[in-house]
């Protein structure tokens, strides 16, 4: 492994480490900055097949796939939280009851209100 190859592999490895830590700590907004760097490094690796050896390439690919699974889990969690918030908002805004005839009747509850008075 040449010095250039080793340095490249270390840069990409370090970037994958940072990405993983951000995903695990929930700092998703910070991931946007890493996207361009990661894309550039992976593009460089794709253009120059000899830049990284096959064994190192496999390790980097596996780590990138693991981070991809963390991304998927984070997205799934965000979607579930969003759905739960929609459900709570729906419950707060509308009460559904049955009438004496057995039909569903909706009564607006208005939701919580906050008054800001000085």
Q: What number is the average pLDDT over the span 68-83?
A: 95
Specify if 28 maps to a domain. Answer: yes
Residue 114 lies in a domain: no
Q: Quick check: is 113 in a domain?
A: no
Q: Domain tally for the chain? A: 1
In a domain, 26, yes or no: yes
* Prediction pTM value: 0.70
pLDDT at 74 over 90: yes
C-alpha span between 49 and 44 (Å, rounded) = 9
Domain span holding position 11:
3-108
* Between 97 and 115, residue with greater pLDDT: 97
pLDDT tens digits for 90-113?
A: 777 777 788 888 888 776 555 555
3-state secondary structure the chain: CCHHHHHHHHHHHHHHHHHHHHHHHCCHHHHHHHHHHHHHHHHHHHHCHHHCCHHHHHHHHHHHHHHHHHHHHHHHHHHHHHHHHHHHHHHHHEEEEECCCCCEEEEECCCCCCCCCC
Residue 116 maps to a domain: no
Question: Tell me, what's the pLDDT at 92?
Answer: 72
User: Residue 118 domain-assigned?
Assistant: no
């Amino acid at each position: 492994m040449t010095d250039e190859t080793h340095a490249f592999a270390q840069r990409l490895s370090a970037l994958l480490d940072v990405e993983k830590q951000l995903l695990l700590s929930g700092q998703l907004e910070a991931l946007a900055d890493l996207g361009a760097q990661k894309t550039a490094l992976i593009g460089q690796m794709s253009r120059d097949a000899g830049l990284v050896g096959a064994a190192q390439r496999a390790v980097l690919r596996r780590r990138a796939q693991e981070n991809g699974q963390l991304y998927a889990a984070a997205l799934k969690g965000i979607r579930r939280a969003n759905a739960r918030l929609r459900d709570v908002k729906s419950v707060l805004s509308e009460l559904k009851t049955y009438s004496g005839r057995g039909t569903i009747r909706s009564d607006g509850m208005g939701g919580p209100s906050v008054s800001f008075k000085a």
